[in-house]
Each structure stands twice: as structure tokens, then as C-alpha cells.
Structure 1
Amino acid sequence: MYRGDGENTEGGGSAGLTCCSYNQDCTSLAIGTKIGYKLFSLGSVEQLDLVHENNEIPDVYIVERLFSSSLVVVVGHIKPRQMNIYHFKKGTEICNYSYSSNILSVRLNRQRLIVCLEESIYIHNIKDMKLLKTLIEIPPNLTGLCALSFNHSNSYLAYPGSCDVGEIVVYDANSLKSVCVIPAHDSLLAAFTFNSMGSKLASASEKGTVIRVFSIPEGQKLYEFRRGMKRYVNISSLVFSMDSQFLCASSNTETVHIFKLEQVADSRMDDPPTWTGYMGKMFMAATNYLPTQVSDMMNQDRAFANVRLNLSGQRNVCTLSTIQKLPRLLVASSDGHLYIYNLDPQDGGECVLIKRHSLFESKSEENKENDLGSPLPQSYAATVAKLSAVPSASTVPGYSEDGGALRGEVIPEHEFATGPVCLDDENEFPPNTFNDVTWKIHIVLWRSMTCFAILQVPYCL
């Protein structure tokens, strides 16, 4: 998720882009502004549909949507210690939580909601917002760096485990138990992310030169990619494609790198006996006799595809998504625009810009010209693109928490829902089978004195 200072208002007037994030399956984009927040649907290349707009919460710096549901989490600079959860379709607040210090990041899936502070992490059960666990013995996390697997069957949580090196702690937020500790980098961490299944974890350090991918829950290194060697960069966005075939990294430079997760070394051993194949085998064998640092560098894979943005000094957040049956790279920039590129999944190379949308104008920018004054080019993929509806998310049955929670429930489960809750259907979450007129308010003060909650729940007469 990109978080900015809101100073750059180019293209956004007085609104000012303060943050932006994609939902878990990359079908929606949420942005925060100086005057509120907006939610967009990403189902089409040609059109950017505004799903919801709220101008009542000033200076939003965190906004997260749960898949395609109507649940959205918002935090603003006016009350940086308070998290508000809304049902935006109904225009109602579900609950709000206050904490002992500023909220730095929020992560959520269909089972868990994670709130990260500088020196603690709160794990909530998203079905009734009961606090299940507070992780307090963690190193100071000044930027709120954390990741949550959005595959609800495991709900792996990752957070920094050291203030000196790039160590990652992997925690099971379902069973509330530690899984493993990964010594990922020698320098401090800058970014890490899970793939869609929660079976892989990618990480980058503050140097930004090397990106590594580890297996989960074992913590074994699977891949190592080199982003560059000429200069250190600040990697701000790291994301897998939904099929886990590609990994995208963007930074404070003008280049976005896309890596392909495949075992190149294994394919070389199966090549026909040619002179180049023979020399390749000799080269690979020679690395076994070199110092570890040298051999690791020689074995690192370069980017499969890349994009050179027409932006300089802009902050951005990227994602890889399938839109209209073709792979796309999406770049949301602090200049107030969403850029859509075609990605060639076979040959890679330079990705082609095919569309640019304004995040502040009511209509998408049609037939815009690029900086060279010519129409935006179309790659081969654009010629075969056909409009198709984005498939709806699958129905997920309710989940009964079977232990591990702290004593003292916020809301009895029978009062929160009368049956399975479908968290990706905006018509069903939160449950709408209650009387919307009468409300019952629960106030709970945790024994730890670190947070309190005020929840408003429809009460069935």
C-alpha cells in the first residue's frame, strides 16, 4: 500500500492523494485523499468505474477494502489511533477501535483483521471483531511493515523480527502460534508479501538490490532475483500475480521490474548438446567452487519484463492482475493517475502502456496522448483482447473460531450473525437480517488498557 504526504496534488486539485491500495484479489483500487476516500472497480481496461466515494472523513491515510464486499477499513490523520470499519453500501459504521498509539497499517482477510502499531500487533476475528491476540514482544516497527496471507485457510502473518538485520517472523493468525523465522537479508527489510495461496513469501531489503522468495511454512529459499547493482533503491511495492507465476517490484526509481518464477537452471540441464549448452553447464558447475557471495550473484535471475515509467520522483504502488482475460500491470501513482500496461507472459520484455485513467476526474481520460505527442501504442496482446465480465468471487462459508481467543467476548456470536457469513458478497456482509432501526451498543475495556472498542450491531427484536 502506498502512503504519501498528500503534498502532490497534480491532477487532483485540492483533494491530494494520500494513500492507495488494491484489494486482496486485485479487482478493486482504494485511494485516500485530503477530503475522504474513493473505491474503484478494476474490471475493464477502457473504463475506471467509481464504486463509492466518501468526503466526510478528512485526511485519510489508510483505506482497505475486503475483497469485493462492502466492508472498508479507514484511518485518518485527525484520529490516527482510531480505526473505523464501515459498510459503505448502507452508509453505516460497523464499529470503531482505538489504540494506545498511532495505527501504522491494517491487513485483513475473510478470517482475520490485523492492526499494526509501532511496538505491537493486534489480531481480531473479523466475524465478530473479538480481540484474539496481542503481539507485544516484537522489535520496534517504525513503518508498520507487515503482511497477511489472504488465503483464509492459513492466515499467515509476517512481521520484522529484528532491528538490525532482515529477519522475518511468520505467525499463524488462525492457530495463534509461531511458524518460523526466516533470515531473509543482511540489511533491514523494506517490503515483503505473500502469494495468493500463502505458500510463498517474497522479500526485499532497504538496499533494494536483491529480492528473495521463500517457501511457507518451511522458510526455505526458492528464488533469488537481482533488481540492479548500480544503486540502492527504496522498494515500495512488492506483489505476486494471482497465479504466482510473476513477481512485481517497484521503487522510487522510474523502473518497475517483473520477475518470472521458474527454475531456469533445471531447463538448461535438459537442453540439447550444443556448444552453448555445454559452456552453460561448465559455468554452472564452476559456481560450486566459488565463494558463496560470488556464486549467489552469478545464480541470480534478472527481470523477465520491465516498465520505464514516464514519471520522476513520484511514489507509486503496483499490482499484477488479469483484466479482460489478459495479464496487466497496474501502476497507481501519486500524480493522481492509474496506468495500465500489457504484460507479454511468453516473451516478457518492455511492457506497453495502453491506458491512463485519472483518479480524480469523473470520466476516464479517453484517447490521451503520451509524452511524445503520439497515441498510446498497443502491443500484440491488445489486439486479441475481448471484453468479458470479471468472474465473481467464490462464496466462502462461515468460520467458527475453536479456541485461542482471550476471555471476554466483544459481541456474542449469536447476536452478530444467525448463520454463515459470506464476506465477499456486499449484500450479505455485514448481515442484513436484523432490524436496521433498533441498535444495541457494546462497550468493552480491555484489561491491558491498550485499546477499547465501541461497536454498533443491529439488534434483533
Structure 2
Amino acid sequence: MTSQSSQYPIFCASFNQDNSGFAISTKDGFKIFDSNTGRLCYERAVGAFVIVEMLYSTSLLAIVGAGEQPSLSPRRLCLFNTTTGIALRELNFLTSILAVRLNKKRIVVVLQEKVYIYDSNTLAILDTIDTVANTKGLCALSPCLDGCFLALPASTIKGSVLVYNVMELNSHCEIDAHRAPLAAIALSSNGMYIATASEQGTIIRVHLVSDATKSYSFRRGTYPSTIFSLSFGPSAQLPDILVATSSSGSIHVFSLGFAIHQRSRRSSSFLGSILPDSVNDVLDPAHHHVLHNAVPAGVKSYIVVRNVDKSSTEIEACRATLSVVTYDGYFLEYVVNVNNQNVSEWSLEREFNLLTAMSGEEQNFQFV
């Protein structure tokens, strides 16, 4: 996730594919952290970067400069080895790179009106996709190779999503998710589900990728708000939860398993059976847990679900660990417990300043 605004000390922030590590960039360089301990694993002070993407916990990084010096052009993608400190390969483009996504088989480079797909091992270009104007560089790539999908905006006037299979190199489907243009996209780790939010930010929808007509809707709030990030919980099948951060400073948790269980019960009822899906979808209860003032209002943030522990007796009950990076320079770890009555309790377990972190040392977390 990239910030083009100089109002933030952090230029970009990203978690790796299993959320075990994350990277940030400042005006001076970039840093790699361990999500579990907060240890600063690597740093390089060579100037500002707008993109720093990890490939799991390997030594490979995909980095793009902020353009503040000739060697750090925003049109150049550098594949960098943190062990040797050497650039393995550089790829140059005609326009600025807005996003890069990686998995073990594919590298995806997003420009404003074009997307390039490369083989991760040979760097051979496999396909190019002409897109609508994507000024924010919105995209999502699933790390799972069995359901390896890329999601991109398909319209500039409404919230349509193009889902592209990057292994088979063909368009899978197009989903009309919202009336307003998209603001955020996320794919589940297995590529089965896609979550979207529009620029209005009041409704978040989840679609099953294999069946673009079925969706589940969650109301974030009544008043418009910018959705900064969306993230599914880790799961081999149905993710247990979906989380979001917004410009209101709140963290939102949506209980997917509980909502879908309730939808199944409702659809078997008389009223649910006679209503069309478009109306039935509106009846979905929120199953929405919110923590207000979790981060400073208006400050950009990036959230992921690091872990979900489910109850052994009730499938809808869970304990989730959430990691948040705020662009004013902080890491926060929240735990939310959702009981079998769908009531939640929140706690801030720890936080630390990313800007003052010292290399090789575990952070002295502030326990709250």
C-alpha cells in the first residue's frame, strides 16, 4: 500500500504473503520487520521508496523508488537481494509503477492503464492487460497457486472488478460489486473470495470468485468514509473474518462464518425462499464488530489478520490477532474475542514506534 502524500513519514507499507513480516519505507530508506516479535530484520538507507514488496520471508524484495534521485526512478522496478545487497534485475517502464504484487510463480506490475505479468523464476513476460485508468494502483493477488487470481478495477464510474487467472492467463470473470468506483480490493489467501469497498465506504461486499453473482454485504456505517485497507483471515476454506480500516480511525471486523451460517438458515425460511438474491442480500445482518478510535482519524493505515483461533465447540466463536501499521509511524497489535453470542471484546496488546526501531533488536513493546 503506497502513499503519494508527503504528509506521512511512512511512504509505503506492506505485509508479506503469510503476514509473518512487513516492510515500510521513509524518506531515508526502507525497513523489514518480523510481525511476531517486532524485530527490525533489515534496513537500507539509500533514499525514498514508494513500493517495497516481500516474497514470504525470502531475501527477495521488489522495490520502486520515489524519484527523488535519478537512481530511484518511479518507472524502474528493482528485484533486490537483501542477503547480498545486490540488485538481481531491473525492469524499466514508460510510466510510473503504481503497484507490484508477488507470489512464488508470478510478478505483477501495475501501471495506470496497463498491467504486466511476469514469470517469477525466469522474468519472462507472460501477458499484458490493458486496463481502465487505475490512478490509485488498486489490485489484489492471491498467493495460492491453485486459485491464483488477480483483481483489478474494471470501470472508473462504477465498482466493477476484473478477476484474471494469472496461471492460465485468461479473464475469469467480471463482478459488478458497487455503484460507486472502487476504493479497496482484497482476495482471500486461497483465491476463493474477494472483498470490495467503494469510494462511498458504507458497504463492504464479499463475492465467491467462482460464482460472481453471489455476494454477502456488510454495512460499515451510515456516513461515507474512506476504506484504507481490507484483509481476510487466514483459512484453507472459508475465511473466518474480514477486517477493514477506515478514515474514521475505526477498525471493523466482519464475522463471515457467522453471517453465512445465518444466511443459510434464512434462505431455508419462507420469506428467504421467495425473495430474489438481490433483496435477500440486503437482509444480511451486519455481524459487525467495531473498535472506534483504534488509530488516529484521517491517518492512513494498513491492517491484516495474523491469526484466528476458533472455539472447539462453536464455529462462530473466535479469537483474532490483528496487526496494524499506521502511516504516522506506529505498529499496533489488537486482539478481538468474539463469543458464541456474536459479542466482541477488544484489547490493545502492544504498540511501538517504527521510525525509532533499531536494527537487530526486538522492540520494547508498550503493553496496554
Identify whether the pair has TM-score above 0.5, normalized to the shorter chain: yes
Q: For 1:360 and 1:53, how far apart are their aligned partners in 2?
A: 11
| Residue 322 (1) aligns with residue 307 (2) | yes
Q: What is the CA deviation profile of residues 159-216 of structure 1, one whole-angstrom value per residue up to 9, with x for unaligned ones?
A: 1111221111111111111111111111111111110111111111111111111112
In the alignment, residue 23 of structure 1 is paired with which amino acid?
Answer: N
Q: For 1:294 and 1:134, how far apart are their aligned partners in 2?
A: 38
Structure 1 residues 328 and 181 mapped into 2: Cα distance closer, same or farther (>3 Å)? same
Q: CA deviation at 1:251?
A: 1.1
Q: CA deviation at 1:220?
A: 3.4
Q: For 1:192 and 1:152, how far apart are their aligned partners in 2?
A: 19
Residue of structure 1 in register with 2:252 after alignment = 257
Q: What is the CA deviation profile of residues 382-434 of structure 1, one whole-angstrom value per residue up to 9, with x for unaligned ones?
A: xxxxxxxxxxxxxxxxxxxxxxxxxxxxxxxxxxxxxxxxxxxxxxxxxxxxx
Q: For 1:202 and 1:154, how far apart are their aligned partners in 2?
A: 15
Instruction: Kindly report which structure 2 residues correspond to 1:232-243, keeping only aligned pairs within 5 A, or say none.
Output: 232-243=224-235
Q: 2:137 aligns with which of 132, 140, 144?
A: 144
Q: What is the CA deviation profile of residues 39-68 of structure 1, one whole-angstrom value per residue up to 9, with x for unaligned ones?
A: 001123xxx111110112x12111000011
Instruction: Kindly report which structure 2 residues correspond to 1:72-221, keeping only aligned pairs within 5 A, or say none.
Output: 72-78=61-67, 79-136=73-130, 138-221=131-214
Structure 1 residues 323 and 179 mapped into 2: Cα distance closer, same or farther (>3 Å)? closer
Output the TM-score relative to the length of structure 1.
0.70
Q: CA deviation at 1:334?
A: 1.4
Q: 2:354 aligns with which of 356, 359, 372?
A: 359
Output the TM-score relative to the length of structure 2.
0.86
Q: CA deviation at 1:315?
A: 1.1
The structure with the largest strand share of the pair is: 2
Structure 1 residues 290 and 19 mapped into 2: Cα distance closer, same or farther (>3 Å)? same
Q: For 2:22 and 2:117, how far apart are their aligned partners in 1?
A: 24
SS in 2 for 1:262: helix
CA contact (8 A) 1:112 1:123 kept: yes
In the alignment, residue 62 of structure 2 is paired with which amino acid?
Answer: V
Contiguous gaps of at least 5 residues in structure 1: 9-15, 271-279, 369-374, 377-461
Structure 1 residues 187 and 93 mapped into 2: Cα distance closer, same or farther (>3 Å)? same
Q: What is the CA deviation profile of residues 339-376 of structure 1, one whole-angstrom value per residue up to 9, with x for unaligned ones?
A: 111121435524211101111222666474xxxxxx71
SS in 1 for 2:62: strand
Structure 1 residues 106 and 269 mapped into 2: Cα distance closer, same or farther (>3 Å)? closer
Q: CA deviation at 1:3?
A: 2.1
In the alignment, residue 356 of structure 1 is paired with which amino acid?
Answer: E
Q: 1:54 aligns with which of 44, 56, 64?
A: 44
Contiguous gaps of at least 5 residues in structure 2: 68-72, 311-318
Choose 332-341 or 308-317, whichever is displaced more: 308-317
Residue of structure 2 in register with 1:25 after alignment = 18
Query: Which structure has the bigger radius of gyration?
Result: 1
Structure 1 residues 103 and 281 mapped into 2: Cα distance closer, same or farther (>3 Å)? closer
CA contact (8 A) 1:305 1:348 kept: no
Q: How many residues align?
A: 347
TM-align CA RMSD: 2.7
Higher relative contact order, structure no. (Cα contacts within 8 Å, ≥ 6 residues apart): 1
Identity of counterpart residues, as a percentage? 31
CA contact (8 A) 1:124 1:132 kept: yes
Structure 1 residues 309 and 216 mapped into 2: Cα distance closer, same or farther (>3 Å)? same
